[in-house]
Amino acid sequence: MDTGFIGKKSSAAGGWGALKSCGKQLLKSGTPLSGARTLLKANQPDGFDCPGCAWGDPAHGSSFEFCENGVKAVAWESTEKRATPELFAANTVTELRKLTDYELERHGRLTHPMRYDAATDKYVAVDWADAFAEIGSILKGLDSPDRAEFYTSGRASNEAAYLYQLFVRLYGTNNFPDCSNMCHEASGVGLRQSIGVGKGTVLLEDFEEADAIFVIGQNPGTNHPRMLGDLRRAAIRGAKIVVFNPIRERGLERFTDPQDKLEMLRGGATDIASDYLQPRLGGDMAAVRGMAKVVFAAEDAAIAAGLPSVLDHAFLAEHSFGLAEYRAAVDATDWAQIEDQSGLSRQQIESAAQIYMRADRVICTWAMGVTQHVHSVVTIREISNFMLLRGNIGKPGAGLCPVRGHSNVQGDRTVGINEKPPVAFLDALEKHFGVAMPRHEGHNVLAAIGAMLDGSSEVFIGLGGNFARATPDSPIVEQAMRRMKLTVNIATKPNHSHLMPGAVSYVLPCLGRTEMDINAAGVSQLISVEDSMSMVHGSAGINRPASPLLMSEVAIVAGIAEATVGNGVVNWSDLAQDNDRIRDHIEATIPGFENYNVRLRKARGFHLRNAAAHREWNTTNGKATFSTVALPAETVHQRASKGGGNFALQTFRSHDQYNTTVYGLDDRYRGVYGERQVIFIHPADLEAMNAAAGDRIDVVTESTDGIDRVAENFRFVPYDIPRGSIAGYYPELNVLVPLGSAGDESDTPTSKSVMVSFRKRQAA
Ligand SMILES: Nc1nc2c(c(=O)[nH]1)N[C@H]1C(S)=C(S)[C@@H](COP(=O)(O)OP(=O)(O)OC[C@H]3O[C@@H](n4cnc5c(=O)[nH]c(N)nc54)[C@H](O)[C@@H]3O)O[C@H]1N2
Ligand SMILES: Nc1nc2c(c(=O)[nH]1)N[C@H]1C(S)=C(S)[C@@H](COP(=O)(O)OP(=O)(O)OC[C@H]3O[C@@H](n4cnc5c(=O)[nH]c(N)nc54)[C@H](O)[C@@H]3O)O[C@H]1N2
Ligand SMILES: [Mo]
């Protein structure tokens, strides 16, 4: 079998490999010099916010924080390559559809607003004004505003997102499907129930004081590389880092900090994880409950021996609700169930719990490995339960830290991209603008797809993103998009969602973060974003726009808004001329933005106050609230392990992609080169199937709805992963994720637990 695509894993994350990869990336982008100059302004007080991820910036943001992810994201945007009208004249949409995500985006930046011409099956350049007029007239012609979907991807600035939600609400709907629905929705839902605020409670500084950091279901080496710097400093100080991840991820094992000249020169590396536990997919709630069981047992033993309590009774008495019920639920959970569901031994769980109990200050971070399961919300609440036991919320060096994905996904929510808007927010909008706002709940991602499929939605507008490829059941969603009366995509580069035109379809090219946004009066415009630590800061690009025809997202939203709802309530072109005016409206309608325009211009921006971090609990009972539910009756993993050739599949990111944007075909931290159609699997599982590394197979989803879901022509990579759990890359595997499978209470597609089996490929 051909196994040439399987090679050596990097010995540590970061280091020279990361530098080399950056060099390559800058060369590929075609602008090594301006690329390098651009990088020096990433995450600097006078520069732009890196579009790479939502990790916080250090207080001492003086030197450029080197980050491979950031380099790639910046180089991707500041490329000299252009997807011009000539490209679209030379290729029909049908032809372009044959390209992979990788090939398509390699054409570079979009330069002209374009309209789809069904007669020739080609996109043709048009005038901005004509585009706005036609979009406005179709929107105005719908029977109901609820027949349109307004998607947001988490790169949109606070200003663009706020303007967008204002326009859409004045138009009359709360249909705001949002990438967050596929991402950290469960964190928001779970945390609001537990601690009264749907955001993390820590600041970056807390990582300097924590005695232990639990990293659950997250791969920062690839997805939040700057976080590794903070973990490394913590490890060097002697803080314990406990990882829960079914896969051994390189970045969590060892990291060479490119910032550290000595470590680079000596070829050294720092061990990150002190303890690396490999649970089965979806086994985290059981693992955390197991640790809570150990804590309660230790508490009983301490009391019996007349030793100090393990629990923080003062905190629990003053701040929490439901401890006794939680204790009863933990007592009722037996070790056999915990061990089977988590895939971890009691001994492993006990040693992790010991670290927790020995630490005065604990931070717990998590990402998609926790949020993209059926029972994610209760898992997050269990994490919160566990942290409450020793008062680890609302004190320095401790707290809950869901690490967000897109660089402004948290800010977009804050400024109103929400299909279930809080009543207080709608009240504030009504009071400030003097008009009624729609009060009925709108569509999230899955509801939007449902409405697009059954014909009750006729328009799709995307403020960034790649809806058709990021969502589950991509072939079905693509068909749904083609049935629309109107599709509009506001984007920087061409992607597959643009190639699924409705009857009328526009691709509208916008400025990216790295580009200067100059208004008619010649004044450079600042945008703002909020990171995972609720820091809001400014961002201004430094590059010349990729094309003179590009408009800012703010201006595009204003153009569509003016053509649709008119200037009766606000004057859209006035707002589009000056982002300060938009920020004045944000300040007037959303708490925490006092003196926005001034504070934004301070070096690190400002922090949005998090009540839970101050031990104020905006929950229904005014306390931090324990959840008391039983473990799930059965996880996908447990069901798969009953045999029948079934496996639990997770779909994750390679080291060379940004969501649906594929930068390259290598995943050097996992030792895979030049290939993305792979399945990571335990060697013993291969042996049991009489299969070997490199064997070609089709992957088939267990069907409960009569639909055949097959991912064709994948190859096996033996890997250090629990038996019965397998993994492969998104978006290629989105054909296998069923629309019908969603997280309880979060309605998030279950991208990390799909029940699949294998089919040998028929010889061609
Ligand atoms: N370079 C780069 N950076 C990015 C992105 C990107 O695509 N590329 N995407 C951005 C976005 S939008 C997001 S949301 C974040 C995503 O950041 P991550 O959440 O790190 O993204 P994934 O690649 O999905 O990795 C999920 C991790 O969880 C583990 N995991 C899966 N299932 C389980 C489970 O049941 N239990 C446990 N304990 N672990 C599990 C996987 O093995 C994997 O290590 O990154 C952001 N940053
Ligand atoms: N199977 C599976 N599916 C998943 C996931 C998974 O782990 N597994 N993860 C989910 C997660 S966490 C997320 S966040 C979603 C991501 O879903 P999306 O946010 O919809 O997807 P992206 O791939 O980030 O969007 C990339 C496109 O955004 C456009 N773009 C880039 N920069 C800009 C900009 O500055 N402005 C504008 N207007 N457009 C820009 C470009 O045209 C590019 O092609 O996918 C989800 N889908
Ligand atoms: Mo995400």
Pairing of strands 275-277, 240-244: parallel
Q: What is the pLDDT averaged over residues 174-184? A: 97
Q: Categorize the per-residue pLDDT at 640 as very low, low, confident or very high, splitting at 50, 70 and 90.
A: very high
Is 249 close to ligand 1, i.e. is its CB under 6 Å away? yes
What average pLDDT does the segment 439-449 reach?
98
- What is the identity of the amino acid at 434? G
What is the average per-residue pLDDT within 361-375?
98
Burial class (CB in 10 A: 0-12, 13-18, 19+), 192: middle
Smallest-distance ligand from the CA of 635: 1
Lowest model confidence (mean pLDDT) among 36-45, 416-425, 753-762: 36-45
User: What is the rounded distance in angstroms from the CA atom of residue 458 to the CA atom of residue 138?
Assistant: 10
Look up the pTM and report it.
0.96
Ligand nearest to the CA of 750: 2
Q: Which atom of ligand 1 is nearest to the CA of 281?
A: 35
Residues of the chain with CATH 2.40.40.20: 636-760
Condensed to tens digits (0 to 9), the pLDDT of residues 322-344 reads 999 999 999 999 999 999 999 99
Residue 261 in this model has a pLDDT that exceeds 80: no
Q: Looking at domain 185-403, does it have CATH number 3.40.228.10?
A: yes
Q: What percent of the chain has pLDDT over 90?
A: 83
The length of the chain, given as a count of residues: 764
- Say which ligand is closest to the CA of 660: 2
Question: With a 6 A CB cut-off, is 217 part of the ligand 1 pocket?
Answer: yes
| Contact criterion met (CB below 8 Å) for 477 and 470 | no
The residue-averaged pLDDT of 23-52 equals 65
Give Cα separations from 486 to 209, 316, 378, 504, 679 (angstroms). 52, 54, 39, 5, 37
461-510 pLDDT tens trace: 999 999 999 999 999 999 999 999 999 999 999 999 999 999 999 999 99
Shortest-distance ligand to the CA of residue 77? 2
Q: Is the CB of 31 under 6 A from ligand 1?
A: no
Query: What is the CA(298)–ligand 2 centre distance, in A?
Result: 45
Measure 152 CA to ligand 2 centroid, in angstroms: 9
Q: Residue 382 belongs to what H/E stretch? A: helix 376-389
* CA–centroid distance, residue 631 to ligand 2 (Å): 32
- Identify the pLDDT of residue 46: 67
Q: pLDDT tier at 388 (50, 70, 90 boundaries)? A: very high
Q: Hey, what amino acid is at 313?
A: H
Residues forming beta bridges with residue 530, ordered by sequence position: 536
pLDDT tens-place string over residues 88-105: 999 999 999 999 988 999
Q: Would you state the structure tokens that stand for residue 589, as one six-digit string?
A: 């309608």
At residue 31, does pLDDT exceed 60?
A: no
At the topology level, CATH places domain 636-760 in Barwin-like endoglucanases (2.40.40)
Within 10 A of 266 (CB to CB), how many other CB atoms are there?
Answer: 10
Q: Is 716 in the pocket of ligand 1 (CB under 6 A)?
A: no
Residue 40's pLDDT band, with cuts at 50, 70 and 90, is: low
Single out the residue of 52, 26, 23 nearest to residue 512, CA to CA. 52
258 lines ligand 1 (CB under 6 A): no
Q: What band does 265 get if pLDDT is binned at 50, 70 and 90?
A: confident
Check the CA dihedral 521-522-523-528 and report its sign.
Answer: positive
Rounded-to-integer distance, Cα 562 and Cα 136, Å? 8
Atom of ligand 2 lying closest to residue 471 CA: 47
CA distance 514 to 496: 23
Q: Is the CB of 243 under 6 A from ligand 1?
A: no
Mean pLDDT computed over 19-47: 63
Angstrom distance (rounded) from CA 610 to CA 197? 7
Of ligand 1's listed atoms, the one at least distance from the Cα of 222 is 1
Beta pairing class for 254-256 and 240-244: unpaired
Tell whether ligand 1 has an atom less than 6 A from the beta carbon of residue 282. yes
Q: Does an H or E element contain 270, and which?
A: strand 270-271
In words, the CATH class of domain 82-183+408-609 is alpha beta
Model pLDDT, residue 2: 81
Alpha helices of 91-223 — where are they, by DSSP H? 93-96, 101-105, 128-141, 158-171, 185-195, 220-223
Structure tokens at 183: 């991402």
Pick the residue whose CA is nearest to atom 2 on ligand 1.
223
Q: What value does the mean pLDDT of the chain take?
A: 93
- The count of C-alpha atoms lying within 13 angstroms of the C-alpha of 80, restricted to the half-sphere facing its C-beta, is 10
Taking the CA of 54 as reference, the closest ligand is: 1
Tally helices (H) and strands (E) across the chain.
31, 29
For residue 532, what is the DSSP state? T
247 CB within 6 A, ligand 1: yes
Residue 764 confidence (pLDDT): 52
Contacts of 591 (CB under 8 A, 6+ apart): none
β-strand pairing of 624-625 with 647-652: unpaired
pLDDT in tens, 180-228: 999 999 999 999 999 999 999 999 999 999 999 999 999 999 999 889 9
368 closest CA partner among 218, 169, 154, 591: 218
Element of type H or E holding 193 = helix 185-195
Cα separation values, 692 from 7, 673, 698, Å: 15, 18, 14
Residue range 25-50: mean pLDDT, rounded: 63
Give the C-alpha distances (Å, rounded to integers) separating 317 from 326, 599, 683: 14, 38, 50
Distance (angstroms) between ligand 1 centre and the Cα of 426 equals: 33
For atom 47 of ligand 1, the residue with the nearest CA is 223
- Looking from the CA of 482 toward its CB, the CA atoms found within 13 Å total 13
- Boundaries of CATH 3.40.228.10 in the chain? 185-403
Q: Whose CA is nearest to atom 27 of ligand 1?
A: 218
The helix or strand, by DSSP H or E, that contains position 293, with its residue range, turns out to be: helix 284-304
Q: Which phi and psi (to 5°) does residue 117 adopt? A: -110, 105
Q: Once rounded to an integer, what is the mean pLDDT over residues 123-127? A: 98
Residues of the chain with CATH 3.40.50.740: 82-183+408-609
Three-state DSSP string of 431-490: HHHCCCCCCCCCCCHHHHHHHHHCCCCCEEEEECCCHHHHCCCHHHHHHHHHCCCEEEEE
